[in-house]
Structure 1
């Protein structure tokens, strides 16, 4: 998050920077913080993350990975998400995906 930037502005900027897509209307789904978000990185730094989850079906532009922020960017059907993504974000997806959609 940049100085003076709202959470929604941050989401829009990050999506554009990492994917080349501009998002339209988005809806706040969740804010995750607290003890379950503790991270210790290899250099010894420790911190707690705050994850703000939005959803949108409105986007424009041509999807591409920005090599400074992403290795790869693709769309996936909800039932065909890559394993590593499911492991890292499973609890977020499970909470917000319709029960009729299985992954």
Structure 2
């Protein structure tokens, strides 16, 4: 779903002003350890992790499962929190002028089932990349989050 009813109603009231946007992102690896990224537009070289807003009444874990399904067609299970990110470096202005400052809970997820395809049409391309060849990203995640770790991270 491109934008929820909640955010549509909020934008009607405040226009394109800067808002906090509680969100989730997923690190999903294939059997070769490559990470899944999605490109929203074939006309851009900017990629992102499967990610999106937490809806009213959702837990972050529920949101990441839903967002991954919508954007990739994969059913996943979140296995651990990799980090929580926010601040001025996590601001983004959409092509329509809407401004957000993301507060992102990043999860590592495992694939349970599904076929790699954009269910909601938000992903123009889905591709796994080796950690050493990650594409240009819209959000400046710390590089460390892309490397496998057997413990919780303390990147805040």
| Bin for the TM-score computed over the shorter chain | 0.7 to 0.9
Deviation at 1:19, TM superposition (A): 0.4
1:3 deviates by 1.5
Q: Which structure ranks higher in relative contact order (CA pairs < 8 Å, sequence separation ≥ 6)? A: 2
TM-score, normalising length: structure 2? 0.51
Tell whether 2:130 aligns with 1:70: no
Structure with greater helix share of residues: 1
Whichever structure has more strand as a proportion of its residues is: 2
Q: Is the 8 A contact 1:63 1:74 kept in 2?
A: no
**What are the residue-to-residue correspondences of 1:1-103 with 2, within 5 Å?**
1-66=54-119, 68-82=121-135, 84-85=136-137, 88-89=138-139, 91-92=141-142, 94-96=143-145, 97-98=147-148
Aligned residue pairs total: 95
Unmatched runs of 5 consecutive residues or more in structure 2? 1-53, 150-156
The root-mean-square deviation of aligned C-alpha atoms, in Å, is 2.4
TM-score between the two structures when normalised by the length of structure 1: 0.73
SS at match of 2:64: helix
